[in-house]
Structures are given as structure tokens and as C-alpha cells.
Amino acid sequence: MMLKLSKDKIGELFQKIASDRTLYLPVDNNGQVNFGRWTPDAAVRLDQLKTVKSSKDFFFPQTENIVAFKRQGKDISIIEKRDANEPFVVFGVRGCDVRSLDILDRVFLCDPVDSFYKARRENGTIVSFACSEPEENCFCGVFGIDAADPLGDATIRVIGGDLYWDAKTDKGRALEESAGALFTQATALDSDAIKEHDERSREISGRLPLKDLDLDSFEESALLEKFNSPLWKELSQACVGCGTCTYVCPTCQCYDIQDFDTGHGIQRFRCWDSCMYSDFTLMAHGNNRKSQVERFRQRFMHKLIYYPANNDGIFSCVGCGRCVAKCPISMNIAKVIRALGGVSVSV
């Protein structure tokens, strides 16, 4: 059931949602738009197509405490330092970032289940935001994502002076009920406007430069062919191993576990890691990927071959375009797909 809210009441909607749970949404902080906690004076930017980083942070944080240790003589105390998990809402998540959570679920919710991630997924509600005008570096459609009608617990569209709300799960319906008095029922004319909005968004997506990326050759049977391709050396030559692509990526899931001496004990925490770093999976004998070309190959082989081979053919990329926009040397997964797929590409 589609509901409607005048845009001039959107602040009331935020206030209602935030009355009994934490609300996060795109906020402008010194020119950088990222998800941040809503406050009445927050510079909310729902007009921003993509945040710098994705909503992944709320479910798989960049750093999180795991456990602490204290020693008194020969006695060692183990203190759980799990961050508190309370109900929260992430509002304004684009379709690509919603799909990324399905990819992360297949990693963190399979046996053995990651209880930290599971607790956040259970406590979090996702309000997705349908795209009106996808950008040139978007290619989510290549992975079967409909930017005009994204998944999520509830989906919003902003058309003209109105916000349209479509609850899709029990979580979404519960959130809708908590703010129900603000909504009115959408009419047949509203349905026409929504249909026109969605068709226009899909038409734009169909004209984007990266819409024709061909994934047909990236299948498990081609693993050795792709792995041994001489193109990896050429493609990776300019890579500086900065790891930017992995930190803005909504599907990267690698992490490290470290211990920190606080002066009063030991704090164990986990933090994001990057396969693009020379000390990634560093062991006593050294790194098993000694060259940048090997590390570069690992990143893209995982997203395009290894992950799909173990996850029903689902690629570990959602076409958000962040790596396209942020790579300092303009090397990205789109160029790799074209090159390894047999399409001429300038690197």
C-alpha cells in the first residue's frame, strides 16, 4: 500500500522515527556527504545520489571492539566489550547499497555466524531511496539491480513536492505504523506519477556508459583462464596499492584482528583490511602475494570469479561506481571486466 507525505513534513517524519530509535541518513559535513546521525540541525542531503561511503558501516563497522583482557598476577580476566546494539534506522539507502547487504549476509550469516554482524542486522531497519537520475559511473543494472524500485524494509520516492512510502517487510510496516498519522493514502494520479518516475529512471540507466558491461565470460569454468591472463600485469601497472577502492566498496568484507595495550589491559578489536596491501594476510614466512599484480588480481578475481562460484553465481559487486569515481589512477572493476571479457580498453 503506497502512502504519501508532503515534503514540508519530512522533518516531522525524521523526528517521529528518531523518537524511539537512532536515525541515520545522508548528512553534509564540510562538503562530504556520508551517513550520519539525525539531529534537528543536521544538514540532511537526500538529494545526494551516493554517499562517500556506504551503509555497510552500520552493520560491519570500520573498527569494533571484540573483547578485553586484564591480568593480575597469573589471573587473566576476559571482559566482553561488545558494542551495545539498539534499534536503528538507516534512511535513504540506494538500491546498490541495499543489495550489498545480501552479499555480506552470505559471508557473515553462514556457519559459523558472526554474532556481531547478526545483532546489527536484526536491530537495523533499511529505508531505501529510489533513484531518479543515476549518474554516469553507475552500473547497478549490470547486476540485475533496479535502481528505480530498490529492495529494503521500506522504499521511498521523492517526486515533485511529495515523498512516497512503500513498506515491504514487517520492519518497514512497523516503522510506518509509528509515523502513520503523517501519511495519507496515495491516489491513482500518484500511481501514474510513480510509474512515470520509475520509467524515466530506467530509461536513464539504459543510456549510461557502463550499462553494456558483459559478465558472460566470468564463470567458474573460466577460473584458470582468467587467473593466468597476461592482462593482469598491464592492468595493474599503474595501481599504487592505496586501498581506496576497498574502503569505499560496499561489498568488501576483509578484516584484521589486533590487540592494543591500553595501559590498563589489552583491548582486542577488528578493523577493515584490504587485499591491496602488502601486509594483508601477513604470516611468519611473509605475504603469500608478494607483488602488486598478485594483489590486484586477487581483488577482482574474488569479486568476479571466486565469490560467485561459492554463492549461486552472485557477483561481489553492485555497480555503485564508487571505485570508478575515487580511484586516483582511474583503474576500476569496469575496466577489468571489459579487458578480461575481450573488449579493448585504454588503461
pTM: 0.91
**String of DSSP letters for 281-316:** T-BTTB-S--SHHHHHHHHHHIIIIIHHHHTTT--S
Q: Is the pLDDT of residue 344 over 50?
A: no
Confidence of residue 38 (pLDDT cuts 50, 70, 90): very high
Per-residue pLDDT tens digits for 125-149: 999 999 999 999 999 999 999 999 9
Omega before residue 150 within 30° of 0, cis? no
Q: How far is CA 103 from CA 108, 188, 300, 335, in A?
A: 9, 36, 15, 22
Whether residue 326 contacts residue 111, with contact meaning beta carbons closer than 8 Å, is answered with no
Confidence of residue 317 (pLDDT cuts 50, 70, 90): very high
How far apart CA 304 and CA 339 sit, in angstroms, is: 13
Average pLDDT over residues 307-326: 96
Per-residue pLDDT tens digits for 186-221: 999 999 999 999 999 999 999 999 999 999 999 999
H-assigned helices in 165-210: 170-178, 188-205
